Chains A and B, each alone.
Chain A
């Protein structure tokens, strides 16, 4: 049976048999690096295409349909166009910080990718502090956004960056508390352990209503954290032009754009891992036959389809809810989501102690 972990294992055995250990190790690093960059390209192109198609169909349009069959090469064409564009650094800006900001945002997005489990036994880096690492590194990107907005020396950028800073740090609290509620249930920070704890059912089914509340809070908070509508105040195009990246052009703009979509993928992958069991197939208690049928579907397919479903959910939000005002946005977080998620965490703790979950 071909699976991603099999292919990785065969490659590793072959490399170790052919070369000495040092060269084998370094060539593994190179292969992983190339794969990560390839994944980035595919994700960026694929998700932008998906966003445009989903948006179009929700608005009863067709969306991109000229470049390639059903317009699938539209985003590739856009990328080529952006690479050929001139990258400007405005005179009034702080040149060093202006050019550093895309690096910060992009590197932060790329680093968070490391501990995500893409399939059974297929993970770049299975560290024991998995989810803590994810929430720590993903909060670096706000520095890049503030840097971009301030360095541009543009009023729209400054407003966008300030809004974005306040918004991202606020919603990070709720994301952290929802993550902790799953950590309480599974008793580990390591992503592979969290997935293994969902062997007999995903947490969203096993954890009764408190976990469902935690999931709802998680999905609201990550939508805000990735600056997506209805929380896209940072780049509200009708009032702030493009928010913090107004002054960016060409590939520097494209890097911000790419980082935004990578971040959406990462938060959805984390959500799928924590609440929907990552690559774990749908298992129901003791139904042996059912579980075996589900095991035939490859684990990578399970992971990708759960993640894509969550991404679709976030795209759906964008065309359903109107944009909030900044005070409404902060009220929602500080007066509703934060107290609810704290009480919910206590409920989940009591549930875990009493062993009320399945």
Chain B
């Protein structure tokens, strides 16, 4: 069939069949492209029918928090690999971005992951600074966020100005690890303790958590020592330490914990004043071999220890050591549990993450045994998990944190009810320097 195309001025052109077909193809392509551009503008990117589910991972892989980031990433990947990087018939695309441990970089990378890579959910995040920044981005842009890195600021999952309906946290908060420590310390018969904690919001948060529970039981903090972060020499603090106390409670993350561990025994305190190390910052797994006998007998509290004899944990530790060549501390299991929660929730919504509130509800409903113990979440999206009191002992020639007491199902307000917790007048921000005053610590609103 021949068609004549009429153009202005009455000139008739009869293009070849080839030319016409090519032109039609070109027109169609342009129309399709135009339509696509229009649709892109009108639609939420996450609503596009795409088979793979994209998960944006925000972790510090360079800078001072690089080790925490790397370990969390290993944990995340271990679980995703275990399920073949797929859930509910969808492939899981992991896109990893380095936050450098800086809040501004973290937000830039979050934006890149969501807006350019079309990630439907974000996970990871280590430092509290990053956590607060990414939390704000997630809330403003309605992006589901699963904290699977340390990110321990209490307020992130408590009623208050920071609470974000799009957030779930499977890792930890500042106060519960300390509350368990306080309970155990009191039961052990300690009534007066002194404390050494890094001078920053996290340190005060943790020690307030301890003092609050310890005071309520009838104990007392006799002295507060707040060495700044990156204190080179703990000598002045150790020399001034209250030696009439029953024990010293510590929280000194990073290189500080390693230094404190060495210097504590050098200054002759080991064996004189027992140590209760909240979060295991001195007896951190990579410190143990380096500190050697200096740490033997140190008590610590955490929601994990690689020495747990459960099938979930033994399997986890074997695989983790294969990948990293070292014992896991808290970060690896946290990442692993984060990935597990994500996969379970994706399965529960059958791979459809478009209804964000439904996805968040599915996340909050997850319940499974993990290397850390049994995991479930409360209505604010905060993990309910087991706390362990550990003692550094030599097992088969290696020093490890052996569990000696267990506190199952600890929620974020434990040992208080939410109502009782909210009835206290002062938060940790008001109490640095007043933790020795139980009257003020326990003052009601």
Q: Do A and B come from one complex?
A: no
Q: Which residues of A contact B (CB under 8 A)?
A: none
